[in-house]
């Protein structure tokens, strides 16, 4: 498990970066004199390149040592964030987010798949949960801290903190992470072949619609809360969401290993997730309880990934990293599309509460597909 911890630290940096930008939207908007919806597209660009980087670059990396790929991708990610921190124009800012997404997309699925190589099969769920938990920890600690620092100084200081974390991650992997056998990021034709497996197709489509709802809504949490509460203070809501994410991502691995029914777990998670989103506007004015939907939303959103990856590993035992990478790509593709749709809603000024409705509709598609998979002959 200790080797999985080093990968988890790299995931910490990714979690920090992936989610802190949503909380920095007002400051970035002021710096470049752009609207919130325009700046929000930076999240779409990051997640889009996150989704497509592994299949595009996999042929170039085929046969390369896995440890070098992990270190190289984290270096790309870190350099990109340093460019973001001092970007003189909004165009450079967007290009740096694309580069950061490229590095993150190469690192994340390979780190998740590699984490299972260090443990026995009966501890695979815990290894997955620990690695993904690094990303949720980056959200829990990094996002509120980053926003606090940006309020004291400016948003660029938060990015420099992220650069420091990236450098530490690179050094830790270089010094402590052993060389190990693992499959490099899959080639594009391998991913296309996997789509011919009906079980894989339905599973990643469930991931897609869940991420459109969950991550897409998160991107525009700042204007949504400002409309519902009249305040732009996100800190406590982000803490609730982040601690929920930490709880969900760390506990789900033990639950998978104990009960051994990931399909049933995904069904429960999806229903709980849609319920938490529905409860946001219903409970937003209730003291203390208003944070509960955000905690549950974070817990279910983060908990969903490990059982989905466990399911895919069971479907594709000989192409585990390919299946996990595909799910990761689709997850962030859904996030990119969700953020783009959210930007359209914000820009046409029909009320950010509409984001809740879009999230519920997307979750409904995910639940429909989940029931279809349960009724099929390939349940796990």
Lowest mean pLDDT among 35-44, 69-78, 82-91, 201-210: 35-44
Do residues 359 and 275 touch, judged by C-beta distance below 8 A?
Answer: no
> What is the per-residue pLDDT for 121?
66
Residue 124 has pLDDT above 60, yes or no: yes
Mean per-residue pLDDT of the chain: 83
pLDDT band at 361 (very low <50, low <70, confident <90, very high): very high
Quickly list DSSP for 93-128. HHHHHHHHHHHHHHHHHHHHHHHGGGS-GGGHHHHH
pLDDT of residue 359: 92
Q: What is the pLDDT of residue 333?
A: 84
Q: Across residues 218-240, what is the average pLDDT? A: 81
- pTM for the full predicted model: 0.77
Q: Lowest-confidence range among 44-48, 107-111, 122-126, 181-185?
A: 181-185
Residue 1's pLDDT is 58
Instruction: Specify the range with the lowest mean pLDDT, choosing from 179-188, 285-294, 330-339.
Output: 179-188
Would you state the pLDDT for residue 257?
Answer: 81
CA dihedral 46, 50, 56, 61 (to 10 degrees): 120
Residues 147/23, Cβ–Cβ less than 8 Å: yes
Asked if 188 contacts 59 with a C-beta cutoff of 8 angstroms, the reply is: yes
Give the other-Cβ count within 10 Å of 279's Cβ: 18
pLDDT at position 184 is: 52
Taking only the tens place, the pLDDT of each residue in 341-358 is 888 877 776 777 888 998
- Summarised one tens digit per residue, pLDDT across range 290-340 is 999 999 998 998 888 888 888 888 887 766 666 777 787 788 788 878 888
Q: Which domains does the chain have, with CATH numbers?
A: 2-375 (1.20.1250.20)
pLDDT in tens, 78-94: 999 999 999 999 999 99
- Residue 263 pLDDT greater than 60, yes or no: yes
């Amino acid at each position: 498990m200790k080797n999985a911890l080093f990968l988890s630290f790299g995931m910490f940096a990714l979690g920090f970066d992936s989610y802190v930008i949503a909380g920095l939207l007002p400051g970035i908007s002021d710096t470049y004199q752009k609207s919130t919806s325009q700046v929000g597209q930076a999240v779409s660009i990051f997640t889009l390149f996150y989704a497509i980087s592994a299949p595009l670059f996999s042929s170039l990396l085929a046969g390369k040592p896995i440890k070098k790929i992990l270190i190289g991708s984290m270096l790309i990610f870190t350099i990109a964030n340093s460019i973001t921190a001092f970007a003189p124009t909004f165009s450079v800012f967007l290009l740096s987010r694309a580069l950061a997404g490229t590095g993150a997309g190469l690192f994340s699925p390979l780190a998740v798949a590699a984490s299972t190589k260090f443990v026995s099969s009966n501890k695979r769920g815990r290894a997955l949960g620990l690695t993904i938990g690094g990303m949720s920890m980056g959200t829990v600690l990094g996002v509120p801290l980053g926003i606090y620092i940006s309020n004291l100084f400016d948003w660029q200081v938060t990015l420099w903190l992220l650069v420091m974390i990236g450098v530490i991650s690179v050094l830790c992997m270089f010094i402590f992470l052993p060389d190990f056998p693992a499959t490099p990021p899959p080639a594009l034709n391998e991913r296309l072949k996997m789509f011919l497996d009906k079980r894989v197709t339905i599973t990643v489509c469930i991931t897609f619609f869940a991420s459109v709802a969950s991550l897409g809504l998160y991107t525009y949490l700042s204007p949504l809360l400002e409309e519902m509460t009249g305040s732009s203070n996100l800190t406590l809501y982000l803490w609730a969401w982040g601690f929920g994410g930490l709880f969900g991502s760390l506990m789900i691995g033990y639950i998978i290993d104990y009960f051994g029914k990931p399909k049933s777990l995904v069904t429960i998670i999806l229903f709980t997730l849609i319920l938490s989103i529905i409860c946001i506007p219903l409970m937003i004015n209730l003291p203390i309880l208003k944070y509960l939907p955000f905690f549950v939303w974070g817990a279910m959103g983060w908990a969903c990934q490990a059982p989905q990856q466990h399911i895919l590993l069971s479907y594709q035992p000989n192409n585990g990293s390919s299946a996990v990478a595909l799910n990761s790509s689709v997850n962030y593709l859904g996030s990119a599309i969700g953020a783009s749709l959210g930007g359209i809603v914000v820009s046409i000024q029909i009320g950010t509460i509409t984001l809740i409705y879009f999230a519920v509709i997307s979750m409904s598609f995910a639940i429909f597909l989940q029931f279809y998979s349960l009724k099929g002959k390939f349940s796990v």
